[in-house]
Amino acid sequence: MKIAFIGAGNVAYHLAQNFDKNGHTITDIFSRNINHARALCQKLYDAKPTNKLDLSHSLAEVVFICLPDDALIYELKNMIFPPNAIVLHTSGSVGMDVFENTEIEKYGVFYPLQTFSKFVSLDMKFVPICLETSDENTEKIVEKLAFSICENIAFYDSEDRKKLHLAAVFACNFTNHLYAISYEILEKNGLSFELLKPLIQTTTQKALQNNPRNVQTGPAIRNDKKTMNEHLEILSNQPNLALLYEKLSENILFF
């Protein structure tokens, strides 16, 4: 298929290259910053960079909007799409209803449940892709398109997708923040995060192979007040971390 991208960030970067590799043609890459669009086009067979939101002359049959949620909502009304194109956004938290009251007739959501970074190339084959579409005909086309790069696709409505996204925030964004806190505690004390890596890897494996609730360890689940108080003592001049420690520990005990 002929595909255009609005946005040249991490998601566009990986999706465009995966489609390109699998026999589709990327026609246009839009970015407010033309250099970002150019950088992505250089990775693709035949795409044109643009910084104008008018795609009325594009040959694209499908347009992917890969923008941050707020930009997606804000910019949507300014975009001009190719006639008859299917328009898809890639956000986990924005409902499909964002396309209602626009002139777009065929639309949907194409949400890859993965975190992308430009520096790490990624085969989309095993990335779960969550789909939702405006109508049955669009569903067939988008499903086929998704299957051309990925084996793991499923249809979820906007409500379920929001819950998936919420669960991902806990399991990934918040988890990463806890790693950042851990890193800082060690660094401040001249200790290395390297030391924790084997433990972090085992912990993650264990959680993925079980119901994580059943493999909880640590002072909170044992209600080991002595250790918890000593830890709070260490955090006494970082009240935000101390509060987080307390709330997480309470939650573990009463979960």
Length of the chain: 255
Residue 122 beta carbon to a copy of itself: minimum distance, rounded to whole angstroms? 8
The dihedral over CA atoms of 163, 167, 168, 171, expressed in degrees to the nearest 10, equals 180
Among 11, 80, 230, 236, binds a copy of itself (CB under 8 A): 230
Alpha-helix residue ranges (DSSP H) falling in 45-157: 69-75, 136-147
Residue 239 touching a copy of itself (CB under 8 A): no
Give whichever of 25 and 114 is closer to a copy of itself, judged by the CB atom: 114
Q: Which is nearer to a copy of itself, 136 or 170 (CB)?
A: 170
Using the CB atoms, write b or e for 39-63: b if 16+ within 10 Å: bbbeebeebebbeeeebeebebbbb
Q: Interaction with a copy of itself in 6-65: which residues (CB under 8 A)? A: none
- Does residue 255 interact with a copy of itself by CB under 8 A? yes
Q: Is 1 in the site for a copy of itself (CB under 8 A)?
A: no
Nearest distance from C-beta of residue 253 to a copy of itself, angstroms: 10
DSSP helix/strand/coil, 141 = helix
Give strand ranges (E) for the chain: 2-6, 25-30, 48-50, 62-65, 86-89, 107-112, 129-133, 153-155
Binding segment for a copy of itself (CB under 8 A), chosen from 31-39, 45-53, 132-140, 180-188, is 180-188
* Contacting a copy of itself within 146-175 (CB under 8 A): 154, 156, 160, 162-175
Binding a copy of itself (rule: CB under 8 A), the pick from 34, 68, 75, 141 is: 68
d(CA 152, CA 134): 21
- Closer Cβ to a copy of itself, 137 or 202, answer by number: 202
Q: What would the x/- binding string for a copy of itself be over residues 183 to 222, using CB under 8 A? A: xxxx--x-x-x-xxxxxxxxxx-xxx--xxx-xxxxxxxx
Half-sphere exposure of 93 (CA within 13 A, CB side): 11
Output the smallest distance, CB 247 to a copy of itself, in A: 6
Segment 83-122, which members bind a copy of itself (CB under 8 A)?
93, 113-115, 117, 120, 122
Do residues 3 and 19 lie in contact, with contact meaning Cβ atoms separated by under 8 Å?
A: yes
Distances (CA, A) of 186 to 18, 138, 173, 183, 190: 39, 52, 20, 5, 6
The residue (of 45 and 179) whose beta carbon lies closer to a copy of itself is 179
The CB density around residue 108, as the number of other CB atoms within 10 Å, is 23
Nearer to a copy of itself, 12 or 85 (CB): 12
